[in-house]
A and B are shown apart, each in its own frame.
Chain A
Amino acid sequence: MNPLTLSKRGILGLNRPVAIWLGALAVVFGMLFSAVPASAADETPAPADGSSLVIKGKVKNEGVGVAGIELKVTGPSFEEIATTDADGLWSLNVPTKAEYKVEIQLDSLPEGVGLRDPETTVRTADLTMVETASVLFPLGVDTRVETPILDQIAIRAFAGLNLGLLLAIAAIGISLIFGTTGLSNFAHGEMVTFGALTTWLFYAVLDLPLIISAVITIAISAAFGWLQDAALWKPLRGRRLGLNQMMIVSIGFGIFLRYVLLIVFDGETKVISGDFQAVEFGPIITTANSIGSMAISVVTLAAVALFLTRTRIGKATRAVSDNASLAASTGIDVEKIIRIVWVVAGALTGLAGMLYGLQFQANWLTGFQILLLLFAATTLGGLGTSLGATVGALIIGFVVELSSLVLPADLKYAASLIILILVLLVRPQGVLGKKQRIG
């Protein structure tokens, strides 16, 4: 609660680590940058003429482009229909920098073919920051035909479980950091993006085997977590910055990272894995990727639980979350624990980004778009507890997916945020959180 005086070390106190950090960041991104071939995502034709703002995409069924699909693009005083060519490609010039909606016209789909994600007939293309945006509608077996309501619920619940497990891995990262340092890290979404795009780089672009790409992604993400703490957060803790200040610093840092990612990886939406081998059981049709992702999520969550409850470091982590000064007085090196937490959080969140990217698509905004869901998950569960974050993430996953049974699909994120607010009304401490000490 100190008024914010500059520390005795003065402004230079932060310069050295920041310089190191920026330098390291530049090296990492420089490396990635130069590794990205310019043609990586260049599957679609360039726009013919007019404005330089383009929305484009490719409609594929089992890897093959589909011709004659109609897409309605709407934006500020703009509405036009694009049609895919023989290779399934389409593109459209749009007049102004704005957010556009692209709606696939279901009646233009061939017989027996439907959307892989039947709920999402509308996707957004945000051209406020970038000049081109790509919008992809993967096709698959038509699942629309009169699905009975119970089957629909099963399908949605399965998708909710999948999303919830993914969110849980990343949310535990937020929760561990909050628990040990009190920081609500608004730059966490960028760690998800970082994981997804790193995987894309090594797996889709450099064509390394998936397992090696995964190992590299997790290692780099863990190193990224280490770096953030070493170069930014530890010095700020040393300056005794208040928690609200730290929170705003993380917002600035998140914006900074987001745009670095945009400049390095451009605004295109990346398809990281084109392999959507269908797996069917009961009414649920899913992909091998999703099954694998869920299995990895469950194993990871179990491993985290074991780590926190069985290992010495895990127990120390919980002790620090509970009461840092008490933990310090029992001989726990709090700074060391926090450093470990950042590394673990980085690795977990990078993994979450990778799993997300392998199942869905990813671009520079992916992590930011799920950041609020992550906060919703940790807040719902009760800030600072890993079990709470997991439960909260599963609730959010189910709400997001099941809400589309009753709400338009473009409100499914809104639904989960409304649930967050409603729960806080009833239980300000979250579902599993304990009441705070007052006074």
Chain B
Amino acid sequence: MDWLAIFNLALGELISPLTAAYILCAIGLAVHFGFTGLMNFGQAAFAAVGAYGMAIGILTFGMPTAVAILFGMACAVIFALVLGIPTLRLRADYLAIVTIAAAEIFRYLMLTSGFAGVTGGSAGLSAFNEEFRALNPFPDGEYGFGPFVFREEELWMRIVGWLTVVLAALFVMFVMRSPWGRVLRGIREDEDAVRSLGKNVFAYKLQALIIGGVIAALGGMIFVLNLSNVQPASWGTNFTFMIWTVLLLGGAATILGPIVGGMLFFLLLTLTQSIIGGLVDVGVINFLSPPQVGQVRFLIIGLALMALVIFRPQGIFGNKKEMQFNG
């Protein structure tokens, strides 16, 4: 087994744009679940709305990329309103089921051949990131050191992705330390108590849903800018639960949690997968075929999610006194 290659691969995952995309979605989910207590099982849809919004803005409406990004964010706001106004009055377990259902409805709508003219149907959309590439200020060449050597476009993608992560984290940190964030943390624990103090709980929950949703939409955009295409299959429930695992790994009610959780998650995932793959190749593990190694990845995610929630629900960084699941 080539340990060096495995480590380099895993280290590369640490700062890959996809990691940044997942982290953004997890920061959004931290706003929903970690700080406000909303059981949102439809985070994939917010990312998808952002991704499709941006791509459709560029391809169908001919928007410049910057405008299309704003358009994608606006779409996420609208999606949050459509989803939140009817459901935020429901009990937590209903909310979970309704959000997962809404996410699936959105995916079916993107998949159906009826709207394929705009959404691309099952083929999805591509060729929307030319302007984004053209905006790259870095001249052609290779940049970096050690395992972190990137071509100019890879560097550009990483810088945009991680800058967005940093800005989103700072933004969330500021608002959560404000009196506004204090109201959210109150709602997380007991809505009625906060109502009795004269706060419009529904409005706060809606605002939290919108803000976390817009951050996830940015994550979705990074995701598809990196892959150069949007496909309906990316936004299934697996995407959502991967984000939950990332969030719970780091700590749901923390700012650093989603970031470190995301990096650690992909580092560990890549390491275990490469090691299992290597063991399969050299024949030590003979009950798995090479394609099954990729499937083991999800098996591990499932187990990790269970173990985290059972043994360390506050995550790596969480404060047990401050984090709890309601109910």
| Residues of B with C-beta under 8 A to A6 | 311
Given contacts A251-B305, A376-B97, 8 further A-B contacts (CB under 8 A): A5-B320, A74-B123, A77-B126, A100-B122, A256-B299, A414-B105, A418-B105, A420-B98
B321 within 8 Å of A by Cβ? yes
What are 28 sample pairs from A and B whose C-beta atoms fall under 8 A apart? A3-B320, A74-B122, A99-B111, A101-B113, A126-B233, A184-B96, A239-B310, A241-B309, A242-B326, A244-B325, A245-B313, A247-B96, A249-B309, A249-B310, A251-B244, A252-B307, A255-B241, A259-B295, A259-B298, A263-B288, A263-B292, A375-B97, A413-B108, A414-B109, A417-B104, A421-B98, A421-B101, A428-B94
8 Å CB contact of A3 from B108, B296, B324: B324
> CA separation between A145 and B305, bound complex, in Å?
52
Q: In the complex, how many angstroms separate the beta carbon of B252 from the nearest chain A beta carbon?
A: 11
Which of B82-90, B138-146, B197-205 lines the interface with chain A? B82-90
With contact pairs A253-B302, A256-B302, A421-B101 given, residues A4 and B123 touching in the complex (Cβ less than 8 Å):
no
- A375-422 with Cβ < 8 A to chain B: 375-376, 379, 383, 408, 410-411, 413-414, 417-418, 420-421
B177 within 8 Å of A by Cβ? no
| Residues of A with C-beta under 8 A to B113 | 101, 122, 408, 410
B130 within 8 Å of A by Cβ? no
In the complex formed, the residue of B with least CB distance to A33 is B287
| Residues of A with C-beta under 8 A to B93 | 184, 243-244, 247, 383
In the complex formed, the residue of B with least CB distance to A100 is B122
In the complex formed, the residue of A with least CB distance to B321 is A3
Q: In the complex, how many angstroms separate the beta carbon of A191 from the nearest chain B beta carbon?
A: 15
The answer to whether B294 and A129 have CB atoms under 8 Å apart is yes
B34 within 8 Å of A by Cβ? no
- A154-207 with Cβ < 8 A to chain B: 184
The answer to whether B104 and A372 have CB atoms under 8 Å apart is yes
| Residues of B with C-beta under 8 A to A376 | 97, 101
> CA separation between A105 and B296, bound complex, in Å?
37
8 Å CB contact of A255 from B91, B124, B301: B301
Q: In the complex, how many angstroms separate the beta carbon of A80 from the nearest chain B beta carbon?
A: 12
Sorting the interface of chain A by its residue count into under 10, 10 to 19, 20 to 34 or 35 or more gives 35 or more
With contact pairs A248-B305, A255-B301, A262-B295 given, residues A243 and B327 touching in the complex (Cβ less than 8 Å):
yes
A258 within 8 Å of B by Cβ? yes
The answer to whether B327 and A242 have CB atoms under 8 Å apart is yes
| Residues of A with C-beta under 8 A to B291 | 52, 130-131
The answer to whether B101 and A372 have CB atoms under 8 Å apart is yes
Q: In the complex, how many angstroms separate the beta carbon of B187 from the nearest chain A beta carbon?
A: 15
In the complex formed, the residue of A with least CB distance to B241 is A251
> CA separation between A408 and B109, bound complex, in Å?
11
Q: In the complex, how many angstroms separate the beta carbon of B294 from the nearest chain A beta carbon?
A: 7
The answer to whether B98 and A99 have CB atoms under 8 Å apart is no
B112 within 8 Å of A by Cβ? yes
| Residues of B with C-beta under 8 A to A256 | 299, 302-303, 306
| Residues of B with C-beta under 8 A to A52 | 291
The answer to whether A99 and B122 have CB atoms under 8 Å apart is yes
The answer to whether B97 and A184 have CB atoms under 8 Å apart is yes
> CA separation between A4 and B108, bound complex, in Å?
37
B231 within 8 Å of A by Cβ? yes
The answer to whether B109 and A99 have CB atoms under 8 Å apart is no
The answer to whether A99 and B126 have CB atoms under 8 Å apart is no
> CA separation between A420 and B296, bound complex, in Å?
34
The answer to whether A411 and B112 have CB atoms under 8 Å apart is yes
The answer to whether A4 and B320 have CB atoms under 8 Å apart is yes
> CA separation between A439 and B195, bound complex, in Å?
12
> CA separation between A100 and B111, bound complex, in Å?
10
> CA separation between A129 and B294, bound complex, in Å?
7
Top 7 closest pairs, chain A to chain B, by CB: A252-B305, A256-B302, A255-B302, A99-B233, A252-B306, A414-B108, A101-B122
> CA separation between A408 and B122, bound complex, in Å?
14
Q: In the complex, how many angstroms separate the beta carbon of B318 from the nearest chain A beta carbon?
A: 10
A150 within 8 Å of B by Cβ? no
The answer to whether B302 and A4 have CB atoms under 8 Å apart is no
- A112-166 with Cβ < 8 A to chain B: 122, 124, 126, 128-131
A1 within 8 Å of B by Cβ? yes
The answer to whether A259 and B299 have CB atoms under 8 Å apart is yes
> CA separation between A252 and B108, bound complex, in Å?
24
Q: Which of B231, B321, B325 is packed against the most chain A CB atoms within 10 Å?
A: B325
A436 within 8 Å of B by Cβ? yes
The answer to whether B241 and A128 have CB atoms under 8 Å apart is no
| Residues of A with C-beta under 8 A to B90 | 424, 428
Q: Which of A52, A129, A252 is packed against the most chain B CB atoms within 10 Å?
A: A252
The answer to whether A414 and B104 have CB atoms under 8 Å apart is yes
In the complex formed, the residue of A with least CB distance to B101 is A417
With contact pairs A243-B93, A244-B325, A262-B295 given, residues A76 and B231 touching in the complex (Cβ less than 8 Å):
yes
B136 within 8 Å of A by Cβ? no
A313 within 8 Å of B by Cβ? no
| Residues of A with C-beta under 8 A to B288 | 263
In the complex formed, the residue of B with least CB distance to A378 is B97
The answer to whether A245 and B325 have CB atoms under 8 Å apart is yes
A48 within 8 Å of B by Cβ? no
Q: In the complex, how many angstroms separate the beta carbon of A411 from the nearest chain B beta carbon?
A: 5
| Residues of B with C-beta under 8 A to A259 | 295-296, 298-299, 302
Q: In the complex, how many angstroms separate the beta carbon of A439 from the nearest chain B beta carbon?
A: 7
| Residues of A with C-beta under 8 A to B244 | 248, 251
With contact pairs A251-B244, A256-B302, A372-B101 given, residues A425 and B86 touching in the complex (Cβ less than 8 Å):
yes
Q: Which of B105, B241, B248, B321 is packed against the most chain A CB atoms within 10 Å?
A: B105
8 Å CB contact of B108 from A101, A239, A410: A410
A254 within 8 Å of B by Cβ? yes
| Residues of B with C-beta under 8 A to A262 | 295
In the complex formed, the residue of B with least CB distance to A99 is B233
8 Å CB contact of B123 from A3, A76, A130, A263: A76
The answer to whether A11 and B311 have CB atoms under 8 Å apart is yes
> CA separation between A184 and B253, bound complex, in Å?
23
| Residues of B with C-beta under 8 A to A436 | 91
| Residues of B with C-beta under 8 A to A249 | 305-306, 309-310
With contact pairs A4-B320, A256-B303 given, residues A129 and B298 touching in the complex (Cβ less than 8 Å):
yes
With contact pairs A3-B324, A428-B91 given, residues A14 and B192 touching in the complex (Cβ less than 8 Å):
no
| Residues of B with C-beta under 8 A to A247 | 39, 93, 96
| Residues of A with C-beta under 8 A to B109 | 411, 414
Q: Which of B238, B292, B306, B320 is packed against the most chain A CB atoms within 10 Å?
A: B306
With contact pairs A251-B244, A421-B98 given, residues A101 and B121 touching in the complex (Cβ less than 8 Å):
yes
In the complex formed, the residue of A with least CB distance to B85 is A425
A260 within 8 Å of B by Cβ? yes
> CA separation between A236 and B324, bound complex, in Å?
16
